[in-house]
Structure 1
Amino acid sequence: MAEKLHFSLVSPAKELFSGEVDHVIAPGTEGEFGVLANHAPFMTTLKNGVVRVLDGDSTKMRLFVRGGFADVTPAGLTILAEEAVDLGSTDAATVDAQLEEAKEKLLAEGKDGAHAGALQAQIDYLTDLKAALVH
C-alpha cells in the first residue's frame, strides 16, 4: 500500500478538511502544483482557485480557496486559506446573489470610495468561485 499524505485545509472560520490522502493539487501564485507523500519541504502563496484532493486517480473533494499559504513539511501539507469553501456543498444561486450584491455596493460607492478595493476583491473572488462551480 502506498504512503498517504496528511493534508489539512484551514480558514479563519474553520478547518474544512484534515485527513490522509494520496495527492493534493493546489493553485500556487507561481502556478498549479501537486503534493504527494514524502514531498520536499517548501512554502508558497496561493491564488484564488480550486484545491483538488485525490484518492487514487479520483477526485475526492474540490475546495475553493481565496488566497493563503501552503506549507509542505515532513508531517504533510497544510493550507492556510484566507477563505475556503467546499465546492460540493456550495450553492450557485447563493454565489450569484452575493456577487450581484457586491456589484451593487461597488456601483453605489463608486470606484474611488473607501471600500472600493475590498469590494472589487470580493467581486473577483465570487467571480472565480462561480467559474469553479461550473467546471
Structure 2
Amino acid sequence: MSKTLTAQILTPTGALFSGEAESILVPGSEGAFEILFQHAPIVSVLGIGKIRVKKPNGEVLLFAVSGGFVEASNNLVTVLAEKATAPEDINPEEVRQQRSTVKERLKETTQGREALEKEVRELDNLLALST
C-alpha cells in the first residue's frame, strides 16, 4: 500500500495542484507544520509563507501563499488559499515595483497601516520564492 496523500491546492481562480503527495508543508498561523500519511484530522488557518508539496517521485513543488485554510482527514489534504502563486508565475521586477509603491504609501499614511504592512509581507514572500 502506498503511503501517500491525495492533495489539492485551490484558489478563488482555480486549482494550482491536484494529485498525490508524500508530504505537504504549510504555513499555519502559529508556525509551519507538515502533513504526512495518516496525519490526525486537522483544520488550520494559513498565514503568509510557502507551501511545499513533496510528490511520490521526489519532485518538490513550491507555492507562495497568503491566508486561507488547510484541512487534512483520511489522507486527503485540501488547501483553500486566499492567494497562492507558483514560482513560474512570479515576475520579480513587477513585485519589487509593487513593494516599493506600498512602502512609499506606508511612509505617507497613518491609517490603514496594518493592511499595507501585510501587503509588504506578502510581496516579500513572493520575492523569496522567485529567487
TM-score of the pair, normalised by structure 2: 0.85
The equivalent position to 1:124 in structure 2, one of 118, 121, 125, is: 121
Shift of 1:81: 1.4
Secondary structure in 1 aligned to 2:2? Answer: coil
**How does 1:1-135 map onto structure 2 within 5 Å?**
2-56=2-56, 58-74=58-74, 76-108=76-108, 110=109, 112-113=110-111, 115-134=112-131
Deviations 1:59-88 (A, max 9, x none): 431001112211101150111112110123
Cα distance change of structure 1 residues 49 and 87 upon mapping to structure 2, 3 Å threshold: same
What's the C-alpha RMSD, in Å, of the aligned pairs?
2.0
Kept in 2, the 8 Å contact 1:62–1:88? The answer is no
Secondary structure in 2 aligned to 1:58? Answer: coil
Give the Cα–Cα distance (whole angstroms) in 2 for the partners of residues 65 and 117 of structure 1.
Answer: 18
Q: How many residues matched?
A: 131
Give the Cα–Cα distance (whole angstroms) in 2 for the partners of residues 52 and 120 of structure 1.
Answer: 24
Kept in 2, the 8 Å contact 1:49–1:132? The answer is no
Amino acid at match of 1:55: K
TM-score of the pair, normalised by structure 1: 0.83
Kept in 1, the 8 Å contact 2:4–2:75? The answer is no
Secondary structure in 1 aligned to 2:38? Answer: coil
Secondary structure in 2 aligned to 1:27? Answer: strand
Cα distance change of structure 1 residues 77 and 133 upon mapping to structure 2, 3 Å threshold: same
Shift of 1:42: 0.8
Which runs of 5 or more residues in structure 2 are unaligned?
none
